[in-house]
Amino acid sequence: MNRQDCLERLREAAAAEGLAYRGAFAPRPTDSVPDARPGQPTGTLALFGFAGRDGFSRFAQSPEFADGLPHPLDRWSRRVVEALAADAGGKALFPFGGPPYHPFQRWAARAEDVRPSPLGLFIHPVWGLWHSYRGAVALVERIKAPQPLRAAASSCDVCAAKPCLSACPVGAYSEAGFAVDRCAAHLGTPEGRACMEGGCLARRTCPVGAHHAHDPQHAAFTMRAFKAAHPA
């Protein structure tokens, strides 16, 4: 199998499990990417995750989703991405399991046209705020991945209204960052039900890729996980 085929095969195997290929890049020392094998630096890092709605619905059919044990999405991601990495002779890396955390957003910006949004989440020109990362596969081989097309300005730079910054009912988002405790406290109140059941109002108000927003099952799953991790 040639190198390009290796990436294509990874991409197809990931898609079969519901994971979207989120780009690949050749790491530089400043990217803090661990070695793919002991003593062998990573030549290519390929990222995988959710983009839009499809991935979550695949996860919702998995044994991890139904078994009632903690952290179902992380356990599903571990099983799926470790199998992809083993098949490709690479190493699986995950966004969770810290601190310390691997700098997935920094890696994402190397792999695709994603940029910081005022909410802290990175925005994608197609998926808007409705995308995330479930793992990465580090390969020793250096594979020339297609370079991402980069727009001159990010979707947020050309958004004058910035409705995301005024949609949070408790003002948890500001120039100073995301006030986690304020958000979590609100989610525990009756007034927080709209966010708990439908998803973060600030995220939902963004017009970019709005039709890719989480469906109600995904939104409620995400909010419950966030609330459980931050009991107010």
Residues forming contacts to ligand B12 in the complex (CB under 6 A) are 95-96, 101-106, 116, 119-122, 129, 131-133, 178, 180, 222, 226
User: Residue 161 burial by CB count (10 A; 0-12/13-18/19+): exposed, middle or buried?
Assistant: exposed
Instruction: Pick between residue 26 and residue 201 the one whose CB is nearest to ligand B12.
Output: 201
Instruction: Pick between residue 9 and residue 222 the one whose CB is nearest to ligand B12.
Output: 222
Question: Smallest distance from the beta carbon of 62 to ligand B12, in angstroms?
Answer: 17
Instruction: Pick between residue 89 and residue 216 the one whose CB is nearest to ligand B12.
Output: 216
Provide the b/e sequence for 192-208 (b: ≥16 CB within 10 Å).
beebbeebbbbbbbbeb
Question: Smallest distance from the beta carbon of 87 to ligand B12, in angstroms?
Answer: 22
Instruction: Pick between residue 44 and residue 132 the one whose CB is nearest to ligand B12.
Output: 132
Rounded CA-CA distance 200/205 in Å is 9
Interacting residues of 133 by C-beta distance below 8 A, sequence separation 6+: 22, 47, 48, 49, 95, 104, 108
Rounded CA-CA distance 219/200 in Å is 8
Where residue 46 falls (left for φ over 0; alpha for ψ -120 to 50; beta otherwise) is: beta
Contact status, residue 178 vs residue 133, Cβ threshold 8 Å: no
**Tokens describing residue 150:** 């980069």
Question: Smallest distance from the beta carbon of 4 to ligand B12, in angstroms?
Answer: 27
Question: Smallest distance from the beta carbon of 7 to ligand B12, in angstroms?
Answer: 21
Question: Smallest distance from the beta carbon of 148 to ligand B12, in angstroms?
Answer: 15
Instruction: Pick between residue 78 and residue 131 the one whose CB is nearest to ligand B12.
Output: 131
Give the rounded distance of the alpha carbon of 51 from its chain centre: 8
Question: Smallest distance from the beta carbon of 125 to ligand B12, in angstroms?
Answer: 13
Question: Smallest distance from the beta carbon of 100 to ligand B12, in angstroms?
Answer: 7
Rounded CA-CA distance 195/208 in Å is 19
| CA-closest candidate to residue 134, choices 223, 32, 31, 54 | 54
Rounded CA-CA distance 88/202 in Å is 39
Instruction: Pick between residue 56 and residue 133 the one whose CB is nearest to ligand B12.
Output: 133
Instruction: Pick between residue 27 and residue 95 the one whose CB is nearest to ligand B12.
Output: 95
